[in-house]
Amino acid sequence: MQTFQEYLDATVEALKKKIVFRGGKKIIKKSTDKAGYKTVGGKEVKMDAKEKMNRKKAAKKSAIKRKSKSGQANKKRAKSMKKRQAGGL
């Protein structure tokens, strides 16, 4: 059984304010940390099943892309590190 405070925490919107910089301007962005919810117009809204599935597919695709491109990024990083070490000595 939940305590009253736990119940309140579960039902009250869990919106977090985050300061981000976009194009040289400071923006206060509200985001949610609840699973299956998104922020629309400063309020927490439940996502429908179709949107959840689309996001899941997109996350999978982007994870595969990230993994395959990580080799390239590591190679470039190693090259930069080599240059930095040679220049510093």
User: Are 58 and 39 part of one and the same domain?
Assistant: no
SS3 15: strand
User: Are 58 and 37 part of one and the same domain?
Assistant: no
Look up tokens 């194009």; give the residue.
23
Phi/psi at 25 (5° precision): -110, 145
DSSP 89: -
End-to-end, the C-alpha distance of the chain in Å comes to 65
Determine the Cα–Cα distance for residues 4 and 38; give it in Å rounded to an integer: 25
User: Are 25 and 55 part of one and the same domain?
Assistant: no
* Residue-wise pLDDT tens digits, 9-68: 666 657 888 899 999 999 998 888 888 999 888 888 899 999 999 999 999 999 999 999
pLDDT for res 82: 93
Determine the Cα–Cα distance for residues 30 and 87; give it in Å rounded to an integer: 44
Which range of residues forms the domain containing residue 43? 1-47
Q: pTM here?
A: 0.58
User: Are 19 and 32 part of one and the same domain?
Assistant: yes
